Amino acid sequence: MGASNKILELAGFALVGGTVYAFLAMGGSELRWPVFWGCAGGAFAIIVYRKARNKRAAGRT
């Protein structure tokens, strides 16, 4: 596992944590939904990117 995989993994965990925090702890804040959807979208983008990268790498071997 390379360094870029670790960075993506840590960023993904941070985004998932931000999503959970926004949903559970930011009840009355007007920033609740923008933070929630921003973190959820970022985590989804990382998942899609890693899947595409793994698919491309599997095609090369």
Domain boundaries of the chain, sorted by first residue = 3-60
- Its pTM stands at 0.83
Q: Which residue has the tokens 């970022």?
A: 42
Distances (CA, A) of 26 to 23, 32, 37: 6, 5, 13
pLDDT at position 2 is 78
Query: Which pLDDT tens digit goes with each residue over 12-48?
Result: 999 999 999 999 999 899 999 999 999 999 999 999 9
Smallest CA-to-CA distance from 40 within 9, 13, 15 is with 15
